[in-house]
Amino acid sequence: MPKQREAHWEFACPECGFGHDELGCLATDDEIYCLVCLEETDRHVVLHRWIAVVEPDDQARLRGDLVAA
């Protein structure tokens, strides 16, 4: 069974500005090129990426078993 990829990177394209806010999700380790630039201009533009910082309250909210009753 293949290992599931985890998304940990916030990102933004230096050319078109497309990023994780517009997409609504984070990038995985192997997603390094802008999909918009690749589709529209056939250019491989490397994304600016940084590790997403998740606040402790967000972690508990996302994991139902950690929410205080």
Which pLDDT belongs to residue 5?
Answer: 75
Task: Tell me the helix, strand and coil percentages in the chain, rounded to 5.
Answer: 30, 20, 50
Which pLDDT belongs to residue 29?
Answer: 92
C-alpha dihedral over 20, 24, 29, 32, to 10 degrees? Answer: -50
Range(s) of the domain holding residue 54 = 7-66
Which pLDDT belongs to residue 55?
Answer: 64
pTM: 0.68
Domain membership of residue 2 (yes or no) is no
Structural contact between residues 34 and 13, judged by C-beta atoms closer than 8 angstroms = yes
Domain membership of residue 41 (yes or no) is yes
Domain membership of residue 1 (yes or no) is no
Total domain count, the chain: 1
Residue-by-residue pLDDT tens, the chain, 69 positions = 566 778 889 999 999 999 999 999 999 999 999 999 999 999 999 999 999 886 665 555 555 555 555
Structural contact between residues 49 and 10, judged by C-beta atoms closer than 8 angstroms = yes
Domain membership of residue 33 (yes or no) is yes
From 10, 7, 11, select the one nearest 52 (Cα to Cα). 10
